[in-house]
A and B are shown apart, each in its own frame.
Chain A
Amino acid sequence: MFSCTIPKLRIIFPTARSLSSLASPSQIEPRQLAFPPKYQQPRQVWLENFDTIEEKKLAILELHPEVFAANPRVDIIHDNVRWQSLYRYVSYAHTKSRFEVRGGGRKPWPQKGLGRARHGSIRSPLFRGGGVIHGPKSPNPHFYMLPFYTRIHGLTATLSIKLAQDDLHVITDLEIPTDDPNFVEELVKSRKWGPSVLFVDESDIMPRNITAATDSVKHFNLMPAYGLNVYSMLKHDTLVLTRAALDLIESKLLTHLHKNNSVPNTQKYKLNQV
């Protein structure tokens, strides 16, 4: 009875399947990895299209394992997130000490003879309405600088986690045929992305349609590659990189991981540091 609905088991060769689904493999040139990895295999990711709702897999791209298969250090990611939320936070909580509270200069009652406890001021911290000892003072900036390579490793760890958890997708570009928000919502739904998606492009001037389509949807956000950060990647469920953004991010991170003049970056943070 059910035999007709259950598909037959077949042996599927992954390579054969991947090749058959390629739209036009010859048109898309493979990626050349800078600093070719010696000890690790490159990671692979599908290059997908973005101009139709249904997904078309265009090619397989190789990803550098030092960026996309780095050690997923959750503690480093935590350090980054903590730093991102703290460095621009200024606490305005403020309390007054016993000398800043108005009044309290006069001895409230004589030292002796009344049978009451001795007191010198009605603004002593023992009194209601008195000053506060070691209370918070305003403004209290929480700015600090995370070490440069902690920031770099935070990015590689987060990208690696996103890739490992199938939350990283690479698309050709951000061109869509319409500026209707429903198009992007349908696309995201059918491809099982999201609900929240971060689209990262190479530059900060995005195509008009995607800008208009995602403007009203608060859980779809656009970001240039230079703004990529750990907090935003984790805040969104899915990270979608354009191919150009992927190239830029990978080359920037590899440059910082491999350069030999890292001393200026690792020195103590100064304003206008080179």
Chain B
Amino acid sequence: MGSNTAEKALQMLKFLPRVCLANLKPSPGSRTSKKRGRGQHGGDKHGAGNKGSGQRQNYMRLGYETGNNPFYLRFPHEPYYQGHHLRREYPPLSMLDLLKLIEMNRLDASKPIDLVSILNTGLYKIFPDQRQYGVNLTDEGADVFNAKVNIEVQWATEPVIAAIERAGGVITTAYYDQHSLQAMINAKKFFERGVPIPRRMMPPPDAIEYYADPTKRGYLADPEKISEERLVLAQKYGYELPQIEKDPEYEMLTERKDPRQIFYGLHPGWVVNLKDKVILKPQDEELERYYAS
């Protein structure tokens, strides 16, 4: 962009011979010859070092220390890693990142923000098949967070909740199962598949406590208790709780998904046809009963 070097180079090119196929060159030093000399010029070790295990390319198994007590066996059992391969992961997104996304217009704060809109920025990724279950909103940048948002994340700590609510926003923690997440990671691709939107499953037993907890702003918690807890948190952190009821964006701030719903405005069982721009809804009674919340 606008660099002086580009200008100078273009000025010089006016008086230089025409750039053509015959006078191109790569950057000096960027290419090295792969050829190895023959005979006495070739080197006799073929790049594998001198003698022994290395030269024979006898690679030892991972962690083996040629007879020492290996590092991975040297210490006793570490129980806090037990079941680590089965635990849910929540890849972090800091509040600073979130603020940046909003200020750079990658996220629209005038609408509810959920996992789908965060994923649609292309700047945050999850891999549900690696047991990643959504956003962990971390408190980095909580002090400067000033955006009024209605946000739904999958994991949040107390300072994060306080920072969102101090700015006049609303936060919910919500659980999505594997199938829902697969539909959310690329919503367009999912709609193109032409399958009905699945219904969101309830959280597993070990997560239900978190998502029904009003202090965690869980989506299964009692709304009355949540508004109580909002006041408690405001007193604990010492800020005046902005009144949502008098907010001009009251409608947006109180918009919530159904516990069975994945996309805002779309219900489970619907098929979105992007080509003809129509939504097909189930008519059959049995289907309606199945997809009912």
Contact = CB atoms under 8 A, between A and B. Distances in A.
A66 B25 contact: no
Contacts of A160: 6, 10
Interface in A107-139: none
B30 A75 contact: yes
Contacts of A260: 106, 122
A101 interface: no
B26 A69 contact: no
A40 B25 contact: no
Contacts of B86: none
Interface in A51-78: 65-66, 69-72, 74-75, 77-78
Interface stretch (A9-17, A92-100, A161-169, A243-251): A161-169
A263 B120 CA distance: 12
Contacts of B3: 71
Q: Classify chain B's interface size.
A: 20 to 34
B18 A81 contact: no
A97 to B, nearest CB: 17
Contacts of A70: 6
Interface string B1-43: 1110111011101101011110011110010000000000000
A86 to B, nearest CB: 13
A39 B1 contact: yes
A78 B20 CA distance: 10
B21 A74 contact: no
B20 A234 contact: yes
A235 interface: yes
Contacts, number: 66
B267 to A, nearest CB: 28
Given A39-B1, A72-B9, A165 B14 contact: yes
B2 A39 contact: yes
B122 A72 contact: no
Contacts of A167: 18
B9 A71 contact: yes
Contacts of B25: 74-75, 78
Given A66-B1, A164-B13, A237-B18, A74 B6 contact: no
Say which size band chain A's interface belongs to. 20 to 34
A79 interface: yes
B13 A161 contact: yes
A165 B2 CA distance: 19
Given A78-B24, A161-B19, A165-B18, A72 B1 contact: no
Interface of B: 1-3, 5-7, 9-11, 13-14, 16, 18-21, 24-27, 30, 106, 122
Nearest to B5: A71
Interface of A: 37-40, 65-66, 69-72, 74-75, 77-79, 81-82, 160-161, 164-167, 231, 234-235, 237, 260-261, 263
A74 B24 contact: yes
Contacts of B2: 37-40, 65
A74 B19 contact: yes
Binding site of B, secondary structure by majority: helix, strand, loop or mixed? loop
A-B pairs with the 8 shortest C-beta distances? A39-B2, A71-B6, A78-B24, A75-B27, A164-B10, A164-B13, A40-B2, A78-B26
Given A40-B2, A75-B26, A75-B27, 6 more contacts: A38-B2, A70-B6, A79-B26, A81-B24, A161-B10, A164-B10
B19 A234 contact: yes
A231 B21 contact: yes
Contacts of A165: 13-14, 16, 18-19
Task: Name the residue in A38, A164, A166 with the highest tally of chain B Cβ atoms < 10 Å from its Cβ.
Answer: A164
A261 B24 contact: no
A70 B10 CA distance: 9
A69 B11 CA distance: 10
Contact of A77 (B14, B16, B19, B30): B19
B14 A69 contact: no
Contacts of A235: 20-21
30 contacts: A37-B2, A38-B2, A40-B1, A40-B2, A65-B2, A66-B1, A71-B6, A72-B10, A74-B19, A74-B24, A75-B25, A75-B26, A78-B24, A78-B25, A78-B26, A79-B26, A81-B21, A81-B24, A161-B10, A161-B13, A164-B10, A164-B11, A164-B14, A165-B19, A231-B21, A234-B20, A235-B20, A235-B21, A260-B122, A263-B122
Given A72-B10, A74-B25, A261 B19 contact: no
A53 to B, nearest CB: 24
A263 B14 CA distance: 36
**Max chain A Cβ within 10 angstroms of own Cβ: one of B7, B13, B14:** B13
A261 B123 CA distance: 9
A166 B122 CA distance: 41
A264 B24 CA distance: 30
Contacts of A39: 1-2
A59 to B, nearest CB: 23
Nearest to B2: A39
Contacts of B27: 75
Nearest to B122: A261
Nearest to A71: B6
